[in-house]
Amino acid sequence: MTKRATTFDMTTAEGQKRLMYESRGLPYTPQVIDTTVPGDYGADPIGDGTFRMVPSGDIVALDERNRRLTAHCDAAIRLC
C-alpha cells in the first residue's frame, strides 16, 4: 500500500469532506459563511426537536430554523 502525499489533515471533518469529494473525482470547495450579513447563520440541535440559533441563541422549531437559514443564505449569496 502506498502512502498518499496530502496537504490537509484527513482526521478533521473538513479533511474527511475533502477526501470524499476527491475520491469521487469532484472538486472540493469549502463553504464560506459571510458573518457580516446580519442574522443567524447556523443552528445547533438541542435534541427535543428544537434548535439553538447561532449567533442569536434563540430556541426555535425546525420550520423557523429553515426560514432563518434560508433568509440568511439568500442575503449572503455565498455557495448556498
80 residues of the chain, pLDDT tens digit each: 555 556 767 778 888 888 888 889 988 887 777 778 788 888 999 999 999 999 999 999 999 999 988 877 765 544 44
Other beta carbons within 10 angstroms of residue 25's beta carbon come to 6
Give the pLDDT score at 80: 46
Q: How far is CA 26 from CA 19, 34, 73, 77, in A?
A: 10, 24, 23, 22
Give the pLDDT score at 1: 52
Rounded distance between C-alpha atoms, residue 47 and residue 74, angstroms: 27
Global confidence as pTM:
0.56
Q: How far apart are the first and last CA of the chain?
A: 38
Give the pLDDT score at 5: 57
